[in-house]
Each structure stands twice: as structure tokens, then as C-alpha cells.
Amino acid sequence: MKKDIVIAGVGGQGILTVAAAIGLAAMEEGYSIKQSEVHGMSQRGGAVISHLRISDKEIYSDLIPEGTADLILGVEPMEAVRYLSFLKSDGWLITNSKPFINIPDYPEHEKLLSFINFLPHSIIVDAEDIAKKIKAPKSSNIVMVGAASPFLDIKKENLEKAIELLFKSKGENIVKSNIEALNAGLEAVSHKV
């Protein structure tokens, strides 16, 4: 078992929470993980990426080599596409559709989405809309964890456990709405898998 996942988004979108949720769940399954994150300057609204490596064997590099990632998980569509050089030829790109526009030269949304649709294996999810519908507007990052879950080889109950661990300190309601977000994300892709 080996899963190399590039998680991409904009500083402040909860990339590290996404990585932590999947990472903890993988550990719960008994796998080794290495997870490299970006701290510092780019967390101020810049491009942010995390490399999450899951394996049943020893993991050497903290960084995923280019051309070998099994999955790119985007909490923002342009950021997901930024790291395509990491994706292996039969890897999946799964991304939130909602753009985060804080720069003047952001590409045309239609052009971006059709580019993504044209990739051999890609799924676009309107995570923000889904999160709003279940009244958990701040959980679109966890919706994306749900959308990625069929590709992770990790049991859903372990993802739920990880979410509980991560959000415990914020109260029971927050845990509940994030587990709902996870399930809603999974549901949104179930017909595409």
C-alpha cells in the first residue's frame, strides 16, 4: 500500500486540517505517514501545499517526487492545477470548484474547469455549496476529505475518528457537523467512482 497525496489550496483554507485528518486516519489503520507542510509567509493568502505520504513500508523523502502522486486534492481549483507536475499518469485530481480570487490575473473560471475536466481522471466538487447546504459553511475542506475518501484505501470510520480527534476541543457540535461534511463529500462523488 502506498498513497502519495498532494493537498493544495490558499493560506487560510484549512489545508493542514485536511492533511491531519487523512494522516491521522492512516495511522489509525497502522500505516506509516510523512506529512510535509508549509508554514510561514505563504500562509498569508499565498499558495499553500502539503505533501502527505502514506505507506506500509518505510517512507524516505518528506517530499513526493514529481510524476508519482496518486492524488492531488484541491481545496481551490487553480491551486490543484498548479501542482500537476506531481501527478502520475493514472493519478486522480479531485478539487473544489470554487475559486479563491485574491489576485488580478486569476484565470477565467470556465477555462480552468474545462481544463480540469479534460484531464484523464478528475472530479470537480462544489464543496462550498455542499457545506452551505448542510449548514456547515466552514467545513468545505472536510467536504473535500469526504470527496477524496474513496481513493484513499482508508476506512470511513477511521476518518471519522480522526475528525473527532481533531475537532474535539471545539465542542461536540463542531465534531458532528464535520462528520456530516465528510459524508456529504463522499455522497457527492459516489456516482462518479
Partner 1 sequence: MKKLLLLGDETIAQGAIDGGISGIYAYPGTPSTEIMEYVQRSKTAKEENIHRTWSTNEKTAMEAALGMSYAGKRAVVCMKHVGLNVAADPFMNSAITGVNGGLVIVVADDPSMHSSQNEQDSRYYGKFAQIPFFEPSNQQEAYDITREAFRLSEKFNVPVLIRITTRLAHSRYAVQLSEREAQNETSFPQNPKQFILLPSIARNRYKSLLNHQNDFLQAAENSKYNKYIEGEDKSLGIVASGIAFNYLLENYPGGKCPHPVVKISQYPLPKNLLKKLYDETEELLVLEEGYPFIEEQINGLFNYGKPVHGRLDGHLPRDGELNPNLVAKALKINYRQGFDSPDFIANRPPELCPGCGHIDVYNALNEAIKDYGNERVLSDIGCYTLGALPPFNSISSCVDMGASITMAKGVADAGIFPAVAVIGDSTFMHSGITGLIDAVNDNSPITIIILDNSAVAMTGGQPTSGEGRIAEICKAAGVNPEHIRKFVPLRKNHNQMVEVLREELNYKDVSVVIAERECVRVLQRNKKLKKQIVKN
Note the residues at the interface with partner 1 (CB under 8 A).
10-11, 23-24, 27, 32-47, 51, 57-69, 78-79, 81-89, 102-103, 105-108, 111-112, 115, 119, 169-171
Task: Name which of 20 and 184 has its Cβ closer to partner 1.
Answer: 20
Pairwise CA distance, residues 149 & 74, whole Å: 13
Residues 96, 19, 169, 187, Cα dihedral to 10°: 40
- HSE of 157, CA atoms in CB hemisphere, 13 A: 1
Task: Name which of 57 and 135 has its Cβ closer to partner 1.
Answer: 57
Cβ 188 to partner 1 shortest distance, Å: 24
Cβ 35 to partner 1 shortest distance, Å: 4
Task: Name which of 101 and 193 has its Cβ closer to partner 1.
Answer: 101
Cβ 80 to partner 1 shortest distance, Å: 10
Pairwise CA distance, residues 111 & 135, whole Å: 30
Q: Are 64 and 53 in contact (CB under 8 A)?
A: yes
